[in-house]
Amino acid sequence: MPLSGVASEKSDMIYQSILSLSGKKKILALLIDPEESSPEELPLLVQSAGEAGVSMILVGGSLVSQPVAPLVRALKGLTTIPVMLFPGHPGQLCDEADGLLLLSLISGRNPEFLIGNHVNAARYLRRSTLEIIPVGYMLIENKIVSSAEYISNTRSIPSGKTDLAVSTALAGEMLGLKMIYLEGGSGAPGIIPPELIAAVKQNIKIPLVVGGGIRNALDLKRVYDAGADMAVIGNAIENNASGLLEFAGVTE
């Protein structure tokens, strides 16, 4: 079931929907990279997303070579599922989306991704009607150097350093961030270790999002069973929209 969309003025309807589902029903989000999306395949992708139980569509990526507005407008014309920006750069902003995950890369020490880009975007975001959800974004080592790690010029938290991951997530929560996102990297060969996901979930009170390496229904179930409130899939279906249907029913 899709989450509630936003009204014509700023609200926290989508975030409240996430909170209301926490502990009751798992949330599945689909990440679409504007650099990789095909307009011809978009209708089938959106149809499959609805059939698979996707509750949120994220739009964004690490690289920026084209505006995201055309993709967002196309999605809004095809579905009532909330479309949220997932920007890797201020150039990936547009008013047509329902909201924005305002990512602060708390696992790294690059000031541009902690606060610099946010300063550049602040006035635009204040004037917009986007629902803004502040998110603590944490890169977790997952056998590859991810695009986010390379572009941000930061190091991932080692997957074996569970205590460091927990402390970082706690710090993000104490700073007032509203969700924690554990990112294993686009194209990762496997999911983030379930024991790390579980440890973070057990120590925070805000919703936990997990992405990276989720390639099939079993991967998704393991991520949910470890404690993720929301899971994000992307690479697994980039060239196979109907592959989304494999994830149907796992959120129940």
- 11-27 pLDDT, tens digit per residue, is 899 999 999 998 889 99
Q: What is the pLDDT of residue 130?
A: 97
Task: State the average pLDDT for the chain.
Answer: 93
Taking alpha carbons only, the member of 27, 28, 29, 45 closest to residue 37 is 45
Count of domains observed in the chain: 1
**∠ CA 172-173-176 to the nearest 5 degrees?**
95
Whether residue 46 lies inside any domain: the answer is: yes
Whether residue 40 lies inside any domain: the answer is: yes
CATH at residue 31: 3.20.20.390
pLDDT class of 8 with cuts at 50, 70, 90 = very low
The string over 46-59, giving b where at least 16 C-beta atoms fall within 10 Å of a residue's C-beta and e elsewhere, is: bebbeebbbbbbbb
**∠ CA 136-113-82 to the nearest 5 degrees?**
55
pLDDT tens digits for 31-67? Answer: 999 988 888 999 999 999 999 999 999 999 988 788 9
Pairing of β 99-105 and β 131-139: parallel
pLDDT tens digits for 129-149? Answer: 999 999 999 999 998 899 999
Whether residue 24 lies inside any domain: the answer is: yes
| Residue 157, beta-bridge partner list | 140
Percent of the chain at pLDDT > 70 equals 97
pLDDT tens digits for 61-118? Answer: 988 788 999 999 999 999 999 999 999 989 999 999 999 999 999 999 999 999 999 9
Q: What is the pLDDT of residue 3?
A: 83
What tokens does 9 get? 């003025």
Whether residue 209 lies inside any domain: the answer is: yes
List, as one string, the DSSP characters of 119-164: HHHHHHHHHS--EEEEEEEEEB--SS--HHHHHHT-PPBPTT-HHH
Whether residue 1 lies inside any domain: the answer is: no
Q: What is the pLDDT of residue 171?
A: 98
Model confidence, pTM: 0.95
Q: What is the pLDDT of residue 143?
A: 85
Whether residue 5 lies inside any domain: the answer is: no
Range of the domain at 90: 13-247
- State yes or no: pLDDT of 5 exceeds 90: no
Whether residue 6 lies inside any domain: the answer is: no
Whether residue 3 lies inside any domain: the answer is: no
Q: Are 220 and 214 in contact (CB under 8 A)?
A: yes
